[in-house]
């Protein structure tokens, strides 16, 4: 087993989680009221997604933005280090350019502290940045899909990763940026299309959904993710953070198998406390910390898969949810699966709860 393996690097478990739970839809439903309240200022409504994943959540947010602001230019910027997830996201994108013509979509493989400004802090790597502007031609989703699929070779060449020599975490080998918009909208969008010489933006809304390892300290969560995102907010902008919170059946499954596990040592309260204790007074005066909220999400399963004997597929999916949201390392998972005792434990909790649910915590930081 690789020493520096990180659970979130396992794409198979991630994709199974996305397709067997309603998490992305639930998060989108909780973001929608905030999109409704946005009062965009010229030249565009600007949204940053701090980790696109397969694009499921972001596409919902883009639909919501069109619903509320159908005629306002839309700048969507996001980051994603996984080449395969970028592919999946691009596959979902063509319809968005049909419904909302005046959209600029940006995706990079940069770190949180770099992605809003689209510049690597590594001077040597920045000199080699791959910056690609894509002007889509045509006016139909099939036109755009046929053009976007051609960028698979670009991704294979430029979205490669390597291990950080100090932390062992995956990082980009070469910084890369894709800027995508419709060619027939270039004149209208000229003022919001970022360029290599003018890459920076601030945002009306920033979404950070499951953006870090749950077990790291509040200090590291603030340093590597939350504070860089706060700095990228425009005046009146909101940072919406969502992370798993435990105290649910998925958590109880984990505690039954690994009693000493503590997946969630630094939730919103500790993050707020750290920010208030460590940010400068003038910085704190510009921020408002809104109340946290628990949002339950659930495993998708048909009633007949649970009643009258739980289907094997449900046990497998529920197990994946439990180890995914609690971020259990692969080495521990492999050991637990060898005994197969986990199946009885999962089946018991699924039966008791007529399915399986897990809790996410959402909290919001507003820049005044």
d(CA 33, CA 362): 13
pLDDT single digits (tens) 262-280: 999 999 999 999 999 999 9
d(CA 120, CA 127): 9
d(CA 1, CA 325): 21
pTM over 0.75: yes
From first to last of the 368 residues of the chain, give the pLDDT tens digit: 344 444 445 778 899 999 999 999 999 999 999 999 999 999 999 999 999 999 999 999 999 999 999 999 999 999 999 999 999 999 999 999 999 999 999 999 999 999 999 999 999 999 999 999 999 999 999 999 999 999 999 999 999 989 877 777 789 999 999 999 999 999 999 999 999 999 999 999 999 999 999 999 999 999 999 999 999 999 999 999 999 999 999 999 999 999 999 999 999 999 999 999 999 999 999 999 999 999 999 999 866 666 656 778 899 999 999 999 999 998 899 999 998 889 999 999 999 998 999 999 999 999 99
């Amino acid at each position: 087993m690789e020493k520096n393996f990180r659970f979130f690097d396992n794409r198979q478990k991630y994709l199974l989680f996305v397709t067997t739970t309603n998490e992305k839809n639930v998060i989108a439903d909780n973001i929608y009221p905030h999109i409704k309240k946005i009062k965009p200022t010229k030249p565009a409504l600007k949204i940053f997604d701090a980790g696109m994943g397969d694009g499921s959540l972001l596409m919902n947010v883009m639909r919501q933005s069109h619903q509320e602001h159908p005629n306002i230019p839309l700048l969507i910027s996001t980051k994603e280090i996984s080449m395969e997830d970028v592919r999946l996201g691009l596959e979902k994108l063509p319809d968005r350019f049909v419904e909302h013509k005046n959209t600029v979509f940006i995706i990079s493989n940069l770190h949180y502290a770099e992605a809003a400004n689209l510049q690597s802090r590594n001077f040597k790597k920045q000199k080699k940045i791959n910056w690609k502007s894509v002007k889509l031609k045509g006016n139909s989703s099939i036109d755009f899909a046929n053009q976007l699929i051609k960028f698979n070779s670009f991704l294979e060449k430029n979205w490669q990763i390597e291990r950080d020599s100090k932390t062992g975490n995956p990082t980009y080998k070469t910084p890369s940026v894709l800027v995508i918009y419709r060619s027939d909208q270039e004149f209208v969008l000229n003022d919001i299309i970022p360029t290599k010489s003018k890459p920076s933006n601030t945002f009306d809304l920033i979404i950070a959904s499951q953006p870090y390892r749950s077990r790291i300290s509040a200090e590291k969560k603030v340093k590597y993710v939350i504070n860089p995102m706060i700095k990228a907010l425009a005046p009146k902008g909101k940072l919406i953070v969502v992370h798993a919170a435990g105290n649910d059946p998925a958590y109880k499954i984990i505690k039954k198998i690994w009693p000493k596990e503590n997946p969630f040592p630094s939730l919103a309260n500790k993050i707020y406390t750290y920010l208030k204790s460590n940010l400068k007074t003038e910085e704190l005066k510009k921020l408002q910390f809104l109340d946290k909220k628990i949002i339950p999400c659930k495993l998708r399963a048909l009633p007949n898969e649970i009643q009258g004997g739980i289907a094997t597929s449900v046990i497998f999916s529920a197990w994946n949810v439990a180890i995914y949201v609690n971020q259990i390392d692969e080495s521990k998972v492999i050991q637990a699966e060898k005994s197969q005792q986990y199946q009885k434990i999962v089946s018991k909790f699924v039966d008791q709860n007529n399915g399986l649910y897990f809790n996410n915590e959402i909290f919001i930081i507003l820049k005044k």
